[in-house]
Structure 1
Amino acid sequence: MGRTILAEESLQDKLSALAKVGSFQIGLLIGQNAEEKDFIAHIAPTPTLDEGDLSSEDEDDPSLAKEVVRSKAPDSLYKIVDAVMAQHTRQVIRMLPGGLDIIGIYVVTTQGDFNSSANVSKLRSVLVAIHRTASKILMETAESRTEKIILHVCTQSLKTLCKTMEVSPTAPGLLSNADIKFQRGGVKWHEILYSYNINLKFWLPIDKSPQSLYKMVLTFIKQWVDSVTESLILIDSEFPNDDDLLDAEADEKPAKKKGGGRGVMDLTSQKIFRAEILDSCVPLIPFTKKDESSGSVCLMGAVAGLAFVHSKVTLHEAKAAVLVDLVRTVVARWEMHCDSLIEEPPSHLMGPIIHEAPRRVFLKGLPVSFCDYLFPGDTKADACQSANELLNIKVRDEHVDDSVETFK
């Protein structure tokens, strides 16, 4: 028997509506992998991109720009461009709180298009591109599961079929059967909040490095990542056993309710926990001595953190979700900062130059919250637009919490 995936009943209605429209669509599955079951929290249709959507890291690759141009409005799996799926992944992964990941894709297409042997290979190449992109921002702090979920929404039968595929290099890339269960109240998420004060200073060597500034600072950030992942983490001011459940009440079986109802589960309300990261405060080994450097890059500020975990998660898994969130949000900001420098004219100022990095805002009003980043001058409306374009979520201004963070 294959894996079991749980999703809210409302998702089934959404997928059925897409099937009735009959148009081809592909998108990302956002959710959480667990040992026994996987959970789908949201689906995000992949938009068409243009050359302006390429990152600073991809700008120098002309082949990617050509691929993006030919990717307009695909109408079958064969016409999907891996680079477009990877870029959507790169944008969405920044908007996820800890605990949530891109766990697969959904495809709305005909039975013949999905079953084509050539398109099975295409599905694998798309999933590999997504996996590599989503894993990169983790900087080896955690391993993204290589078994990915595929939901096929058939435009003829209007049914949703669930498969999985292993995307590790040695795997044959075959589709395996999986069981998806749509249940009302079937997924309950606990929220973990934390704050982290970051103060990093990296010295840049005088000699010109073959690496770009982007990659050079990422190397320095990796040193901090290796250090912070060894930190102690308190949950609600306590340091419990890693094997214990985050929610002790999750072991208690809910009372059975009388009455019918398709896939109804009796679940308690969402709980909020607070985490505290106790790092070693040991200074990082500098790349070079101060008097041998050409300058420095400083990252300073208070990071607001957020993670969501399923109701029966262990303390070990909850702590891992917090660390993943911290690493992803710091790396995402450096990536976005470098992207913004491409559009900025060269500065002739002498001395330290202060750039205000994008600050994190949270998008509330859903079973799980997402996030976005606002540069100076951006407004809540920009966050609402990003949520609509990248996640297909309509968020109102009052649901954008932009008061949680300062970051310089």
Structure 2
Amino acid sequence: MDPLLYPSQLAASCYHSNKGLLWLAMKLSISTRELVMVAIELSEQMIIFDRCLESWLDSTQKSQQKSQKEGNFTYAVHFLIGSFCSDGDIHVAHAALCPLPATAADGAGDALSRTLDDEWIADNAEKVTRILPGGIHVVGLIWFSERKLFNDQKSMLTRALGRIQRTNNLLTTLSISSVSDQMALVFNEFPNGKPTGLIIDVVRRGPDSPTKVSFSALEWVSVISNASARICLNVPTRSKQSHFFTEFLAAIRPFAQNLLSCPLMLINGEIRDESEQLFKDLKKKKTDSVEVQMFIDTCENKENICEPQIATNLHEVSFDIEIRAAVPSRSKVGAVVAAVKHHLLRNLTARAELQYESMDIVEEGSAAPCSVHQMPRPATTVLHTHPAILLSDYLFEADTIEDAQKNFDELIGLKTSLEHIDEGWERSLEINEMEAVRAPLDDTPIVNFKSKDDDIGSICTLLIALSVIMAVVGVVVYFAIGR
């Protein structure tokens, strides 16, 4: 390289960019011909589609061309299903079509009734989110249309991404923390355009960040764990209107806060730092799954203080759940920890929300008897392109695996056979078990806590008694030695 080049020429000729690094050569002195190399670190995010989605993209484009020729819909939107990777990239494993409202096919309707809105997209994304395991989310949207229509709908799509992000947080963390503030928006121009991507910060609502969209062979690993607990909490009656789902969230919220804040976990029997890579060398990776053992704080009242309370709205939640989360193989340990916690909470909230949606609205008196709700049971199948990703539909007592097969097809476009659906994870409660749960709680207190003053008084009494005993023993020993 000629060091006598002008600074602008020099910088242009020395520009070399790889992921994460940008090298700039700057000339400090022409007379001395000295050069200084400055390394500036970049955090360029990428939207990476799994290699198998290339053929899906081609077939979707052809389908759009056919629809336009027939005078049907000239646009389509799909949910991008994948993970927010530890390095900042967004990995996409699957794409699911967002259904169109019934009014979209009504030729007599106006233009507004024939288009999508952000609420419709977010509501359907919520249904998809409920069947996804921990570590897997609706990470964004891909829109197929002509450029002008995309520009017209971009603000609506941004609002939809904001709604999807908030719903994901509610189901996955009870909105205690955020899974990710950034979402992907990919546009594929009709008829034969290449996908272009944007990273949208749906919280801060800053300028959109154009980003590269690429295809690569992606891999996910299964995260295996289990959890069981009995949560009992008095939920204060709210002045505003409440219902089963909101009270369920209130009942498990202290447990969720405890779970999300506790960092203690064993990864394959070892304590590991959350900043470590899960697999230090992917080429030497010998397993496609990791086992995680969770721990939580016992929430012990260290001050030993009890305040008398009357339970007016007592909720008891019992569960014993097998956890099968999934994370990208390039993840850090922290992503594994989060995936397990997110899976457990989403499993609970998804079932409770479905239970609430299936309930008939009944006006109950103030002295309503104890009611027992048996949550729907899971029926699972794997995403055939990535077997580490286990999807869960939830069935009520009268539902069958045929219903699960239909839901997998309608929600994420997954064609699966009945032989590949497993509903043997849990069983329904027997009648006698339901009656035992419905039995009234014993009013006798299980533990009697003492106040701090009583505690101090007991200690003083014990010390005085020990002093008297020691004095008596000393006198006896003295006379015994004297004799």
So what's the TM-score if we normalise by structure 1?
Answer: 0.79
Relative to structure 1, the CA distance from residue 353 to residue 110 in structure 2 (aligned partners, 3 Å threshold; closer, same or farther) is same
Q: Report the counterpart of residue 402 of structure 1 in structure 2.
A: 423
**Identical-residue share of aligned pairs (%):** 21
Aligned to 1:96: 132
Aligned to 1:264: none
Tell me if 1:122 matches 2:156: yes
- 2:256 aligns to what SS in structure 1? helix
Q: 2:149 aligns to what SS in structure 1?
A: helix
Which whole-Å CA distance do the structure 2 matches of 1:386 and 1:312 have between them?
Answer: 31
Contact kept? 1:203, 1:290, Cα under 8 Å: no
Shift of residue 295 of structure 1?
4.5
Residue 309 of structure 1, aligned match among 321, 324, 327: 327
> Structure 1 residue 77: deviation in Å?
12
Cα distance in 2, alignment partners of residues 136 and 194 from structure 1:
22
- Structure 1's 100 and 403: CA in aligned 2 closer, same or farther, altered over 3 A? same
Query: 2:449 is matched with which residue?
Result: none
Amino acid at match of 2:350: A
| Counterpart position of 1:276 | 293
Q: Report the counterpart of residue 177 of structure 1 in structure 2.
A: 210
Deviating 4+ runs (over 4 angstroms): 69-78, 288-291, 343-347
State the AA in 1 paired with 2:338.
A
Shift of 1:108: 1.2
1:385 to 400, 406, 427: 406
Displacement of 1:353: 3.1
* 8 A Cα contact 2:174 2:249, kept in partner: no
Alignment of 1:25-104 (within 5 A): 25-34=76-85, 35-48=87-100, 79-104=115-140
Partner of 1:227: 258
Q: How many residues align?
A: 365
Q: SS at the partner of 2:206?
A: coil
Counterparts of 1:7-406 in structure 2, within 5 Å, are 7-22=49-64, 23=67, 24-34=75-85, 35-48=87-100, 79-114=115-150, 116=151, 118-137=152-171, 138-172=173-207, 174=208, 176-183=209-216, 186-205=217-236, 209-213=239-243, 214-231=245-262, 232-250=264-282, 271-282=288-299, 292-342=310-360, 351-364=369-382, 366=384, 367=386, 368-405=389-426
Change in 2 beyond 3 A, CA 1:161/1:306: same
CA–CA separation in structure 2 for the residues paired with 1:397 and 1:49: 29
How far apart are residue 36 of structure 1 and its match?
4.0
Distance 1:228 1:72, change over 3 A: farther
Instruction: Please give the per-residue CA displacement for 1:294-331, whole angstroms capped at 9, x wherever unaligned.
Output: 44322112112121111121111110111111111112
8 Å CA contact 2:232, 2:251 repeated in 1 = no
Pairwise CA distance, 1:289: 8.6
Give the deviation of 1:79 after TM superposition.
2.2
Deviation at 1:238, TM superposition (A): 2.0
Secondary structure in 1 aligned to 2:230?
A: strand
SS in 2 for 1:79: coil
Three-state SS of the structure 1 residue aligned to 2:90 is strand
For 1:236, the aligned partner's letter is N
CA distance in structure 1 between the partners assigned to 2:249 and 2:91 by the alignment: 32
Alignment RMSD: 3.2
How far the C-alpha of 1:208 sits from its partner, in A, is: 6.5
Amino acid at match of 2:49: A
Q: Deviations over 1:120-145 (max 9, x none)?
A: 32222222222222222222344232
Q: Which residue of 1 aligns with 2:478?
A: none
**Conserved in 1, the CA contact under 8 Å of 2:104 and 2:114?**
no
One-letter identity of the residue aligned with 2:275: D
CA–CA distance in structure 2, aligned partners of residues 391 and 72 of structure 1: 25
Q: CA deviation at 1:177?
A: 2.1
Map Cα deviations across residues 180-219 of structure 1 (whole Å, 9 max, x no partner).
2213xx10111001110021123355x6742413323322
Unaligned runs of 5+ in 1: 51-68, 255-267
Q: Could you tell me how far 1:245 is from its partner in structure 2? A: 2.1
Report which structure shows greater RCO (CA 8 Å, sep ≥6): 1
Distance in 2 (CA, whole Å) between partners of 1:364 and 1:301 is: 23
Q: Which has the larger radius of gyration?
A: 2
Distance (Å, rounded) in 2 between the aligned partners of 1:72 and 1:275:
51
CA distance in 2, matches of 1:274, 1:82: 39
